[in-house]
A = this chain, B = another copy of it.
Amino acid sequence: MTDSGSFSQFGICDGARAGRPWHAEARLAFQRTTSLHKIERAAGALLGMEADAAKAVYFVLSGWLASSKSLRNGQRQIVDIQLPGEFIDTRLSDMQASATQIETLTPVTLAVVPRGNWMRLLQEYPEILARHERDVAAVLSRMSERMLRLGKSSAQARIAYTLIELGLRSSAFGPGESQEFHIPMTQQSLGDFTGLSSVHVCRTLGQLERMGVVSTNGHMDILIHDIEQLAAIAEIDVALLRGELNSAA
């Protein structure tokens, strides 16, 4: 484990740091054990609604996806966002107290592991098991952080935290002062993610902009000017963040 002590929950993986992305290796492993079924989807598509192999585990090869739950009145909460190199388990989409839905935020390619092969894969390939364990720990960890902000923080903290989480996870952060990246989401969906109305997302981004910590360019192009202050607003321990930035660099 080369990443011990760093923010492993943000999903930055060893392989990617070493220059060889984990999902390239994973693909090989999948190919050895199952017929690797690869599917592609355009942006804005819904996943798992296909009648057929709905009970599959997906592995994201490229693109962003969002899993959300919604209430009868249409209110929606995005529960997690999946980036390349992460697993999506559609078991979570059924048997629940409310409707779950997985949608693509960009065009995506996914590897599909039929449900029947999944347990076999875990049992036979320790590296996949270990990777999956780590992935699950990362998901739980970042969901916990988000719950904390959802329950106890201001709109500014929620937005700031989300910017940092997505920035770190998309590996956009270099060692430099300012960090720039694109979030393929509307302010509406950012609101569904942070538990805010789209109107308030807009206002809050405006505040952060006026404070000089970020600037936004048209449709969700984010430029972070002062990551330390942003982390402070996000109520992230700045020392931890600094350590993470160093180890990620």
Is the CB–CB distance between A130 and B140 below 8 Å?
A: no
Please name all residues of chain B whose beta carbon is closer than 8 Å to the beta carbon of A98 when the two chains form the complex. 145, 148, 235-237
Is the CB–CB distance between B95 and A5 below 8 Å?
A: yes
Is the CB–CB distance between B123 and A69 below 8 Å?
A: no
Which listed residue, B75, B143, B148, touches A71 by the CB 8 Å rule?
B148
> Given A72-B235, A123-B129, A144-B69, are A151 and B8 also a contact pair (CB < 8 Å)?
no
Is the CB–CB distance between A77 and B140 below 8 Å?
A: no
Is the CB–CB distance between B145 and A69 below 8 Å?
A: yes
Please name all residues of chain B whose beta carbon is closer than 8 Å to the beta carbon of A80 when the two chains form the complex. 144
Q: A243's closest neighbor in chain B, by CB?
A: B95
Give the most central of A130, A144, A150: most B CB within 10 Å.
A144
> Given A76-B152, A119-B129, A152-B71, are A137 and B92 also a contact pair (CB < 8 Å)?
yes
Q: A6's closest neighbor in chain B, by CB?
A: B95
A79 to B152, CA, bound (A): 12
Please name all residues of chain B whose beta carbon is closer than 8 Å to the beta carbon of A146 when the two chains form the complex. 147
Q: A126's closest neighbor in chain B, by CB?
A: B123
Is A62 positioned at the interface, with any CB of B under 8 Å from its CB? no
Please name all residues of chain B whose beta carbon is closer than 8 Å to the beta carbon of A139 when the two chains form the complex. 140
Is the CB–CB distance between A145 and B96 below 8 Å?
A: yes
Is the CB–CB distance between B144 and A75 below 8 Å?
A: no
Q: A75's closest neighbor in chain B, by CB?
A: B152
Interface residues of A in 101-148 (CB under 8 A from B): 119, 122-123, 126, 129-130, 133, 136-137, 139-141, 143-148
Please name all residues of chain B whose beta carbon is closer than 8 Å to the beta carbon of A5 when the two chains form the complex. 95
Is A203 positioned at the interface, with any CB of B under 8 Å from its CB? no
Interface residues of A in 170-198 (CB under 8 A from B): 192, 194-195
Q: Give A contacts to B, CB under 8 Å.
A: 4-9, 67, 69-72, 75-77, 79-80, 89, 91-92, 95-98, 100, 119, 122-123, 126, 129-130, 133, 136-137, 139-141, 143-148, 150-153, 161, 192, 194-195, 234-237, 240-241
In the complex, given contacts A7-B96, A77-B152, what are 17 additional A-B residue pairs having Cβ atoms less than 8 angstroms apart?
Answer: A67-B144, A69-B144, A69-B148, A71-B153, A79-B148, A91-B137, A96-B240, A97-B145, A97-B161, A98-B235, A98-B236, A98-B237, A119-B130, A123-B129, A136-B136, A136-B140, A151-B194
